[in-house]
Structure 1
């Protein structure tokens, strides 16, 4: 039976749906993000009546407010509920989305409380159940956007308009279209991709094969979502409700902090005794130093001092941990 494993890490919470020993769906929620469900006090900075929207601002952030609350004038204070965090896309950042609320300020529900199905909370001192299910491989997929499957590769690229998945392989076009459609749908679920998604499959003239490719998507991706038929050029579009950042968005738009948090996860599970030295690219070291509480929490968890050593020869994703006494 499928089960959600949930882990409260340093700087982020993690969840993975495990089925037959593998991760089929995953989520990462950074602690410093305004997660959906958060209610805060804000000020209505601008009304946009033609769109029934407004701009709400608060110390350190702003959101596109919809619908526009009646009777609230510009400059007035009000409560708003975050429905989607901000997305810092390159060249075209998107504001957070919010709606008016009658509730008092409160944090978002815990990640574990937002999941459907059985949930098991993990303790970092126990065996690494997430890693046993392939957590490191999942993060590599999120960072690289390249996912191999039998007979081909799915290359995932994010654009301001949509997430594009290109299916490439050397098999017969019909077979690759069907297997590639299933692989793309599994990747969408596994990496928590939402919004507008375009999948470019091999061009297939046979309508029955195109229909089979569409059915492969339906079988691999749970509802709710909408999709078009696979057209004669092998293109199909999927729409999923967008309420949080996908794993790929975290690594594309928040790469340094994402890799830094991943290194802290490795460090708290490192073997040995005594001081732990985290060897990492200078940018990763700076990211950890900029969040002083992270190193403090790591030291408390493992019961040992922490040292950071910058190594320009290391790739952003190649940090490692060394204990003073193996």
Structure 2
């Protein structure tokens, strides 16, 4: 069976997984942010930075963004047509602005939906009703748990993925001897880069290996596992650190869930609510922060899709991801 994308148009979220032989190879989530890669729009240059080739532009909706490759004759106040090449990236205490580039001659256009973006590559995509079990059968729930916790187990240990302002850090933990632990971790790391949509600057902290031959052994194993990954990689240094750099267009699943836990939990709850089969009104029981993250238009869409009355029950004793949906008498 060749690989195919399974796609769901959820409430407040598009989600897709690339699957083959019952395994998730890659995954994507979009939360409908209007300023994301592919958007072409007019923007006013509000500031030219010291290096002259970069600046800050303001889109018509008031969003500020960086711009690269400014033409020499662009002066502050001029309106340019720009294309968004990287989405905003939320970090602890701040948000990195979106990144744009001049797009002279291009017509303004909204960013493509996740479905449009995948279909534009020529890949096979199968759109599913939200009641389908296909994504769950192929491991969607495990993937969400890994994105929420950042932890992925493997034989003899686990990797811990932590988004930081500087880079995504991958730590390796386990009880195996250092060389064996490192080699066992390599396939889990390679899979995680694709499955959790991780790009940008990535640091891998392997156990320290004193013997240069052991470090070279791990380097080769990592290179072989990343054969279909596009980016640059350093050799392991004497402290076990490897640096990867790949194109960054959007936050990874781990970064998205870590920085917006209530919003992520709200979308998970809405997906569960759409799948309730028993008759009756829908009761959403969750931590107050999760219920607060459900926008009125999302709740209205849930009512429209299911044909049910939607009720809420806040419970501060529940964890953010401990919410549930159930049918109750009307």
Length-normalised TM-score, structure 2: 0.93
CA positional deviation for 1:125:
4.8
Which residue of the other structure, out of 115, 126, 132, is the alignment partner of 2:137? 132
Instruction: For 1:269-284, list aligned pairs within 5 A.
Output: 269-284=275-290
CA positional deviation for 1:264:
0.7
Alpha-carbon separation, structure 2, partners of 1:61 and 1:91: 18
Residue 247 of structure 1 aligns with which residue? 253
Alpha-carbon separation, structure 2, partners of 1:213 and 1:226: 16
**Contact 2:199/2:247, CA 8 A, preserved across alignment:** yes
Which residue of the other structure, out of 129, 149, 161, is the alignment partner of 1:144? 149
Alpha-carbon separation, structure 2, partners of 1:101 and 1:118: 27
Which residue of the other structure, out of 301, 304, 307, is the alignment partner of 1:303? 307
Deviations 1:210-260 (A, max 9, x none): 233223323333231110112222211111110111101111222211111
- What secondary structure does 2:95 align onto? coil
Which residue of the other structure, out of 215, 223, 234, is the alignment partner of 1:218? 223
Residue 35 of structure 1 aligns with which residue? 36
Q: 1:236 to 1:210 in 2, by over 3 A?
A: same
Residue 234 of structure 2 aligns with which residue? 228
Matched, 1:180 2:176: no
**Contact 2:36/2:88, CA 8 A, preserved across alignment:** no
CA positional deviation for 1:150:
0.9
Alpha-carbon separation, structure 2, partners of 1:211 and 1:126: 48
Alpha-carbon separation, structure 1, partners of 2:103 and 2:276: 44
CA positional deviation for 1:261:
1.0
Alpha-carbon separation, structure 2, partners of 1:240 and 1:32: 22
Alpha-carbon separation, structure 1, partners of 2:315 and 2:25: 35
- What secondary structure does 1:88 align onto? strand
Alpha-carbon separation, structure 2, partners of 1:212 and 1:274: 60
CA positional deviation for 1:165:
0.7
Which stretch has the larger CA shift, 82-91 or 66-75?
66-75
CA positional deviation for 1:92:
4.0
Which stretch has the larger CA shift, 208-217 or 245-254?
208-217
The count of aligned residue pairs is: 324
The unaligned stretches of length 5 or more in structure 2 are: none
**Contact 2:8/2:130, CA 8 A, preserved across alignment:** no
Alpha-carbon separation, structure 1, partners of 2:52 and 2:258: 30
Matched, 1:97 2:102: no
Residue 294 of structure 1 aligns with which residue? 298
Which stretch has the larger CA shift, 51-60 or 114-123?
114-123
Q: 1:185 to 1:282 in 2, by over 3 A?
A: same
- What secondary structure does 2:229 align onto? coil
Alpha-carbon separation, structure 1, partners of 2:16 and 2:224: 23
Residue 88 of structure 1 aligns with which residue? 90
Deviations 1:21-57 (A, max 9, x none): 0212111011134220011222111112524111001
Which residue of the other structure, out of 64, 77, 80, is the alignment partner of 2:79? 77
**Contact 1:3/1:117, CA 8 A, preserved across alignment:** no
Alpha-carbon separation, structure 1, partners of 2:130 and 2:8: 11
**Contact 1:4/1:117, CA 8 A, preserved across alignment:** no
Residue 13 of structure 2 aligns with which residue? 12
